[in-house]
């Protein structure tokens, strides 16, 4: 095991430290100076501090490129990990922008500091290859998210969904821990790379299969893949919009990153194969089954929804299914495709929740009827929603389309010479044709249906509009010029 002194460790984790300091600053400034100020002001100052903290961390990362693998894989820094940290920080900043003018809580500083702590845990999650730290950061992330979900104290839904989230999360954490302990037992190491060294063999150890399944349950919960998705619809519906946005975006990106790392780095040699007529046992066929289940279930159940948030939840399950294909094919190319997909998906869904927040504050609900005639009441958010929904459906030239194209072609390329994984790609493309139906249904209410009598134009603050436009612009830009992001991954 490599040793490292605290000062250089501090240097390596300084972006995380900056964000933690920012979280503490937000708390203390609010508690010390702003006790008597009105909520709006406290929200503005707290958000500015959080944004500043994240921005500082981004700048720090940009200026100090690191490359390290210390403490038995506890901290693995390389250009990719650092870029993922930047992406996660940007997603968190956008979440803060969506939060700024929310009115669901008076405890703004607590909310923001929890959000920042969740960001820290996501940053650790993408820069580690050690089961112990993976588990710790997953738990820190989950705990922050449970509280963020329950934050709307006026809504019973919020409390209910948080409790469900907590119970499901607790159970799946237990599964993950059990799987991790088995892996440790098999390899007497928690470092993913050394685990890989001791698990491969011509025949899979039955214990290893149990470990794989257990780990999959834990990670599948995190990315809301079927059949571990039951928390998602309730949480997406009950949580305050910015919390739901964070769960759907940043936490998803980090979750998929670590899913890939655990499977591909940690279980290298136990892949097996999911090729049509070429099945071999390992983790690939299991992930392929989970992926197909998620795609089918997510897309079909989404058709029946009448609440936009629940619809987004089921569409998230479907998208998790698509992204799992990137893990099934486990090549470098498909990893890049997966990350591109995850980041653009996160951006899109973040924007969608921003629009949901706008509508909810005006109408108090998120059913289709609350969106009726929105294009005449709030043209800019409606147009942004148009872009987000079409991107989720995979219509070019938006980011969602290119993500799908890149991901699916990389999946097919992973079995050179044969089109062995074509069955998964056909399933995915066929179901994404289904998905257009329900995305168009939302747009139909926004653009086609007449609004109820006497519905006045919605006043949306300039800041919110700017944030939404920024995200929409990002979605369009990344779709038209995917190179901007690809070059960087």
Chain residues that interact with another protein, rule: CB under 8 A = 375, 390, 395-397, 401-402, 405-406, 408-409, 412-413, 416, 419, 422, 425-426, 429-430, 432-433, 436-437, 440, 443-444, 447-448, 482-483, 486-487
Using the minimum distance from each CB to another protein, give the nearer residue, 265 or 429: 429
Using the minimum distance from each CB to another protein, give the nearer residue, 63 or 459: 459
Find where tokens 């571990």 sit: 228
CB of 299 to another protein, least distance (A): 12
CB of 438 to another protein, least distance (A): 11
CB of 403 to another protein, least distance (A): 12
Q: What φ, ψ does residue 70 adopt, rounded to 5°?
A: -120, 165
CB 161 within 8 A of CB 149: yes
CB 455 within 8 A of CB 378: no
CB of 362 to another protein, least distance (A): 21
Counting beta carbons within 10 angstroms of the beta carbon of residue 342, is it exposed (0 to 12), middle (13 to 18) or buried (19 or more)?
Answer: buried
Using the minimum distance from each CB to another protein, give the nearer residue, 177 or 436: 436
Using the minimum distance from each CB to another protein, give the nearer residue, 231 or 401: 401
CB of 441 to another protein, least distance (A): 8
Using the minimum distance from each CB to another protein, give the nearer residue, 459 or 487: 487
CB of 482 to another protein, least distance (A): 5
Using the minimum distance from each CB to another protein, give the nearer residue, 58 or 424: 424
Using the minimum distance from each CB to another protein, give the nearer residue, 287 or 390: 390
CB of 139 to another protein, least distance (A): 37
CB of 285 to another protein, least distance (A): 21
Using the minimum distance from each CB to another protein, give the nearer residue, 93 or 427: 427
CB of 422 to another protein, least distance (A): 7
CB of 356 to another protein, least distance (A): 21
Using the minimum distance from each CB to another protein, give the nearer residue, 181 or 449: 449
Using the minimum distance from each CB to another protein, give the nearer residue, 135 or 406: 406
């Amino acid at each position: 095991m490599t040793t490292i002194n605290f000062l250089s460790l501090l240097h390596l984790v300084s972006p995380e430290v900056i964000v933690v300091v920012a979280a503490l600053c937000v708390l203390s400034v609010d508690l010390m100076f702003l006790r008597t100020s009105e909520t709006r002001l406290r929200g503005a100052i707290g958000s500015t501090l959080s944004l500043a903290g994240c921005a500082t961390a981004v700048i720090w990362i940009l200026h100090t490129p690191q490359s390290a693998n210390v403490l038995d894989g506890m901290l693995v820094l390389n250009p990719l990990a650092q870029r993922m940290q930047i992406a996660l920080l940007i997603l968190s900043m956008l979440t803060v922008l969506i939060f700024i003018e929310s009115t669901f809580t008076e405890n703004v500083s607590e909310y923001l500091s929890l959000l920042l702590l969740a960001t820290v845990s996501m940053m650790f999650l993408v820069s580690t290859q050690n089961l112990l730290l993976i588990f710790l950061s997953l738990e820190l992330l989950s705990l922050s998210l449970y509280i963020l979900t329950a934050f709307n104290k006026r809504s019973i839904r919020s409390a209910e969904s948080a409790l469900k989230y907590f119970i499901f999360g607790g159970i799946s954490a237990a599964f993950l821990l059990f799987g991790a302990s088995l892996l440790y037992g098999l390899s007497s190491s928690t470092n993913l790379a050394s685990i890989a060294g001791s698990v491969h063999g011509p025949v899979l150890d039955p214990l290893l299969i149990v470990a794989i399944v257990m780990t999959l349950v834990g990670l599948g919960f995190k990315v809301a893949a079927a059949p571990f998705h039951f928390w998602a619809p309730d949480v997406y519906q009950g949580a305050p919009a910015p919390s739901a946005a964070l769960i759907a975006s940043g936490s998803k990106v980090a979750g998929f990153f670590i899913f890939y790392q655990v499977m591909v780095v940690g279980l290298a040699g136990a892949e097996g194969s999911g090729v049509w007529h070429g099945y071999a046992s390992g983790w690939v066929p299991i992930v392929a089954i989970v992926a197909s289940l998620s795609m089918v279930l997510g897309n079909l159940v989404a058709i029946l929804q009448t609440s936009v948030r629940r619809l987004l939840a089921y569409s998230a399950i479907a998208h998790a299914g698509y992204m799992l294909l990137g893990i099934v094919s486990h090549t470098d190319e498909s990893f890049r495709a997966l990350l591109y997909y995850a980041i653009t998906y996160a951006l899109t869904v973040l924007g969608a929740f921003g629009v949901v927040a706008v509508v909810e504050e005006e109408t108090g609900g998120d059913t289709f009827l609350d969106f009726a005639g929105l294009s005449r009441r709030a043209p800019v958010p409606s147009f942004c929603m148009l872009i987000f929904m079409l991107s989720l459906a995979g219509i070019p030239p938006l980011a969602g389309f290119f993500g799908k194209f890149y991901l699916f072609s990389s999946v097919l390329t992973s079995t050179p010479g044969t089109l062995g994984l074509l069955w998964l790609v056909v399933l995915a493309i066929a179901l994404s044709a289904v998905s257009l139906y329900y995305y168009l249904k939302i747009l139909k209410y926004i653009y086609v249906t007449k609004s109820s009598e006497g519905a006045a134009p919605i006043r949306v603050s300039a800041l919110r509009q700017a944030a939404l436009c920024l995200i929409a612009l990002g979605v369009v830009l990344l779709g038209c010029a995917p190179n901007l992001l690809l070059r960087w991954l």
